[in-house]
Amino acid sequence: MAKSAAPKKKQSKANKTFDKAIKKTLTNQKAPLEGLDLSEEKLIQIYRQMLLIRRFEEKAAQMYGMEKIMGFCHLYNGQEAVAVGANAAMHETDYMLTAYRDHGHALVKGITANEVMAELFGKVTGCSRGKGGSMHLFDAEKRMMGGHAIVGGHIPLAAGFAFGSKYKAEQDVTVCFFGEAAANQGVFHETLNMAALWKLPVVYICENNRYGMGTAFERAFAVWDIYERASAYNMPRDVVDGMDVLDMYRKTKEAVDRARYEHIPTFLEARTYRFRGHSMSDPIHGHYRTKEEVEEMKAKDPIINFGELLKKENIFSEEQMKEMDDEIKKIVNESIEFAEKSEEPPLEDLYTDVIVE
Amino acid sequence: MAIITWREALNQAMAEEMERDENVFIMGEEVGVYQGAYKVTAGLLQRFGEKRVIDTPIVEASFTGIGIGAAMVGLRPIVEMMTFNFSILAMDQIFNNAAKMRYMSGGQFKVPMVIRGPNGAAHGLAATHSQSFESFYSHVPGLYVIAPSTPADAKGLLKSAIRDDNPVIFLESEVMYGQKGEVPEEEYTIPIGVSDVKREGKDVTVVTWSKMYYIVQKAADELKEEDIDVEIIDPRTIRPLDDSKIIESVKKTNRLVVVEEGWPFASVSSEIITRVHQKAFDYLDAPIERVNQADVPMPYAANLEKASLPNVERVKKAIKKVLYIEE
């Protein structure tokens, strides 16, 4: 009966496990930029991309409240470093796909704020012509391969894209994101096995934000170090500080290079945290986590901390940040205006694109 | 015309299309080294190599998903289900990812793939291994469903399915693989969504497809001796359903029987009967009859299995019923 501790005690132990593995692999805090092949321009771009996502999501929340956005709407606040850091390590022609918390990924992959906001509004100018909505954001040209809303359902698709690249002898890599809860689905295990067996150029990034909706990971996982699951498939694996964009960049870069040049897939577990509820219909903490925990995690805000670093390293000043913030707010406000003014899909669109004629 | 089996017709169709387009590949359980659980892929590994004939672990959901992903980036996968009974495990992939990808992306992606394998009952395989899936898959917008009856139709339609840009469910049958028929020697395809008059007759229309076709032919032969003239319409493609020849035939015979291997509730026969009611109601001289599998899971015992499936006697009885012939 050794494991029958009360839930409260279990949780704190789980939190310790959560932090411990990250600490071992943290960015060198004394010289965080050392050994990184990132120009100052690129560092500023990374900051900008994270800030754009944050401001976009804040506005999306507001628009949801005003009933401009329907259905489910899952915000990325707090997790920005994961998609942005990983994207910085990718080529533009690499494939990206994720689950339903996809606004951030779509923005960083190059879909404009206008097109994403219009999609949330259900307008024909949206990136999926108003037929996908918040959970199904696509841009074939930019190789943003979705927005997928069945937990874990897109994990085999990612292996399929990678299979296609290898079959056609193209050097593109597929990077697939999903929440930690998806790692309990059967297709996760099935696909990781095949990706390793067939040496597919794919990188799987598990965004462990600690809660599958309202179920804490320690209540859903028999083994808390989720990245270790990849050992069952003899797949390179690592744990990443998902609140540290540079750690995300560094680990993803290693993985993407390994996929591109050696056809070896990798499984990364990014430990992160969402600052908002599971979806817009969900309170920020509710019954499943405490307000204190949320506040504590907000001290690890990936954007504020990275901004501090850029200031400290004299790469970007307070004033420049303010200017950038104003510019981004303007972009996001314009996206609202764009979405508002855009047309709804014409009624005949109801019956188009069901099949290829 | 050559006389070949269903199995050989499918094999030829795949080999010809693989020869024609190097983006066509086949994956599934036992398709390579084992030469196919039912030998449909025999010789393909030797001819096209491991890159294009891929043995998978037993993971229907994931290898189907990998096929869908590969199709989205320009390949043309043929995914073999050892039997369609196992495709239940892949239904999330087929419904959500294959069928809906084009629509929910606003037309940005296409999923040109074929998912093929045996459908329906064989012999003595009982409840989990004896289901008919045409009604399940034809329910979903975004999928094509093909269920041919003759080797010639099978070959021509499989070639069209492989060339088509949509996800196609292609239904075969273990008990048909050895069935022989005439197949043209020269290159040909048969268009998807075109039904075929398989037997001309004036007294009654029977709509049927896949292996039920052989039962209906036998019933029609026997009824001929009783001076009953049966017309058989084989839709060949279940979705999109070409009902033109069905309607035309009902307008001529004024009587309809639908023979379907699967269960009756919310079935393909339900759809066909609805359409005939909508489009030819005034021409009907008798209530429509249908012959389906009994509305129960498939039993194992030979006598119960036989009683569960449509057979020649049941078909004859239904035909006589719409003709108001007392036995």
Using a CB-CB cut-off of 8 Å, the residues of chain B touching A136 are: 104-105
Cβ within 8 Å, pair B57-A190 = yes
Query: What separation in angstroms does the CA of A200 have from each of A129, A261, A263, A284, A357?
Result: 32, 11, 5, 38, 32
Q: What are the catalytic residues of B?
A: 60, 129
The pLDDT tens digits for A15-36 are 776 777 666 555 556 778 888 9
**Pairwise CA distance, residues B19 & A344, whole Å:** 46
Using a CB-CB cut-off of 8 Å, the residues of chain A touching B67 are: 160
Asked whether the bond before A7 is cis by omega within 30 degrees of 0, the reply is no
Mean pLDDT of all residues in A219-231? 95
Identify which of A128, A162, A191 has the shortest CB distance to residue B105. A128
Where do the domains of chain A lie, and which CATH numbers do they carry? 38-344 (3.40.50.970)
Chain A closest CA to B142's CA: distance in Å?
A: 5
Q: Does A352 reach chain B within 8 Å, measured CB to CB?
A: yes
Q: Does A273 reach chain B within 8 Å, measured CB to CB?
A: no
**Pairwise CA distance, residues B312 & B304, whole Å:** 16
The pLDDT tens digits for A89-135 are 999 999 999 999 999 999 999 999 999 999 999 999 999 999 999 99
Q: Identify the segments of chain B with pLDDT beneath 70.
A: none
Phi-psi region of A274 (alpha: psi -120 to 50; beta: other; left: phi over 0): beta
At which residue do the structure tokens 């600052």 appear? A275
The overall pTM is greater than 0.90: yes
Using a CB-CB cut-off of 8 Å, the residues of chain B touching A197 are: 57
Q: How many CB atoms neighbour CB B23 within 10 A?
A: 18
The pLDDT tens digits for B170-206 are 999 999 999 999 999 999 999 999 999 999 999 999 9
Where do the domains of chain B lie, and which CATH numbers do they carry? 2-183 (3.40.50.970), 196-322 (3.40.50.920)
The answer, yes or no, to whether ipTM is higher than 0.85 is yes
The pLDDT tens digits for B6-29 are 999 999 999 999 999 999 999 999
Task: Give CA A88 to chain center in angstroms.
Answer: 13
Identify which of A160, A190, A352 has the shortest CB distance to residue B70. A160
The pLDDT tens digits for A32-62 are 888 899 999 999 999 999 999 999 999 999 9
Q: What is the pLDDT of residue A129?
A: 98
Asked if pLDDT for residue A10 goes beyond 90, the answer is: no
Chain B closest CA to A256's CA: distance in Å?
A: 19
Q: Does A173 reach chain B within 8 Å, measured CB to CB?
A: no
Using a CB-CB cut-off of 8 Å, the residues of chain B touching A139 are: 108
Best interface-test mutation with B: which of A187, A263, A344, A348 has the largest number of B CBs within 10 A?
Answer: A187
Residue A227's nearest CA partner among A200, A208, A213, A249 is A208
